[in-house]
Chains A and B, each alone.
Chain A
Amino acid sequence: AQSVTQLGSHVSVSEGALVLLRCNYSSSVPPYLFWYVQYPNQGLQLLLKYTSAATLVKGINGFEAEFKKSETSFHLTKPSAHMSDAAEYFCAVNKGYGNKLVFGAGTILRVKS
């Protein structure tokens, strides 16, 4: 079965600092992995996805994530945090077409000025 673990329910960084949100997955087959962002009272917006092509995936708003099979990780990073990045971030895994998304518990990112 697929599962996702997000380490740290809350992460706080200063504006301009590196953002690192951790995600580890468990999958019996090569996974498709996703990062979504959710702003308060809104739906989820796709940041980026890994679908077995390049292991370093670039997404929107300056975010990127690297798929590391040996570590079963898909951590999300951004070199310089902006106040507008404050939101909740969800990592998700999908076995592939026709299979459901399994979400992590989410990480709330706080950006301090």
Chain B
Amino acid sequence: GAVVSQHPSWVICKSGTSVKIECRSLDFQATTMFWYRQFPKQSLMLMATSNEGSKATYEQGVEKDKFLINHASLTLSTLTVTSAHPEDSSFYICSARGTGGFETQYFGPGTRLLVL
């Protein structure tokens, strides 16, 4: 149980294009999803928290117009990197917290983004 998927697992795009990453909770309903960014050999940095049906809450220093988050249902959240640039290249990981066992976050496998 508590499986979270991400799609795509990796993506290469040209500078200036937008990329959408999906995060799905497969066997539970996720009232809250989190988006993290991880640079090589570093820990995870929380980018934003999204609650189903409401606007995402962004961490300080994260551009909300660049990293658009939508949490339209209890099983799906999307992160769109708009007008991507090489410095946006990173490993993006989502996590989901369910309605039961609520203190535990379950993580997706991550999406590797490379912007050329």
Which residues from chain A sit less than 8 Å from chain B, CB to CB? 32, 34, 36, 41-46, 49, 51, 90, 94, 96-98, 100-101, 103-106
Contacts and interface: CB of A to CB of B under 8 A. Distances in A.
B61 to A, nearest CB: 14
B103 A96 contact: yes
A49 B110 CA distance: 21
A90 B93 CA distance: 14
Interface SS of B by simple majority: strand
Contacts of A106: 42-43
A59 B10 CA distance: 30
A43 B43 contact: no
A22 B28 CA distance: 32
Contacts of B103: 32, 49, 51, 94, 96-97
A105 B106 contact: no
B43 A90 contact: yes
Contact of B46 (A32, A51, A100): A100
14 contacts: A34-B104, A41-B110, A42-B110, A43-B109, A43-B110, A44-B93, A44-B95, A45-B107, A46-B104, A51-B103, A96-B103, A97-B102, A103-B43, A105-B42
B105 interface: yes
B93 A105 contact: no
Interface of B: 4, 6, 32, 34, 42-44, 46, 49, 91, 93, 95, 102-110, 112
Given A46-B107, A105-B42, 7 more contacts: A41-B110, A44-B93, A49-B104, A100-B34, A100-B46, A103-B43, A105-B43
B104 A41 contact: no
A45 B46 CA distance: 17
A103 B104 contact: no
A32 B103 CA distance: 8
Given A41-B112, A100-B34, A46 B106 contact: yes
A36 B46 contact: no
B53 to A, nearest CB: 16
Nearest to B48: A100
